[in-house]
Amino acid sequence: MKLLDSSVLVAFLNERDSLHEGALKLDLKDSVFNELVLAEVANVLQKRVKDKQKVKNSVTELLQQTPVVLLSIDNLKQAMQLFFEYYPRISFTDAALAAQAKNLNAQVLTFDDNLSKII
């Protein structure tokens, strides 16, 4: 199983992203993401893309094609510890993704160097 970070999803969904071509080359089979990543993707696309219909289509397609694995309470507790351990280098979303990946024994796909260093 592969957990997707918002950096990969934003690059995949946004043709203008500098990492778009790299994202298209990734093998996204057996990939999932969590609800915090979904929120982050929607927010970033809203700011970068500006076209409401494109954002709506992208987020809708993402939800139809890729499963969402919800964070557990244990994931959130572990995320809080990681967040403050690596503060201010990672976001809470990244800390939650790292904790969830550990609990699921999953690989994280990310373009975020700071997140890559802790997983």
The string of pLDDT tens digits covering residues 61-78 is 999 999 999 999 999 999
pLDDT band at 89 (very low <50, low <70, confident <90, very high): very high
Query: Model confidence at 103, in pLDDT bands (50, 70, 90)?
Result: very high
- Rounded to whole angstroms, the Cα distance separating 98 from 84 reads 13
The reported pLDDT for the residue numbered 73 is 98
To the nearest whole number, what is the mean pLDDT of the chain?
A: 97
pLDDT number for residue 60: 97
Query: What's the one-letter identity of residue 98?
Result: A
Residue 90 — pLDDT band, cuts 50, 70, 90? very high
* CATH number of the domain to which 48 belongs: 3.40.50.1010
Q: Number of folded domains in the chain?
A: 1
Residue 46 β-bridge partners:
none
Q: What pLDDT is stored for residue 30 in this prediction?
A: 94
Q: Which residues contact 100 (CB under 8 A, 6 or more apart)?
A: 3, 34, 69, 71, 72, 75, 79, 106
Q: What is the per-residue pLDDT for 80? A: 98
Q: What is the mean pLDDT of residues 20-38?
A: 96
Which two tokens mark 116? 């890559």
Mean pLDDT of 87-114: 97
Residue 56 structural domain: 2-118
What is residue 69's predicted lDDT score, i.e. its pLDDT?
98
Q: Mean pLDDT throughout 6-25? A: 97
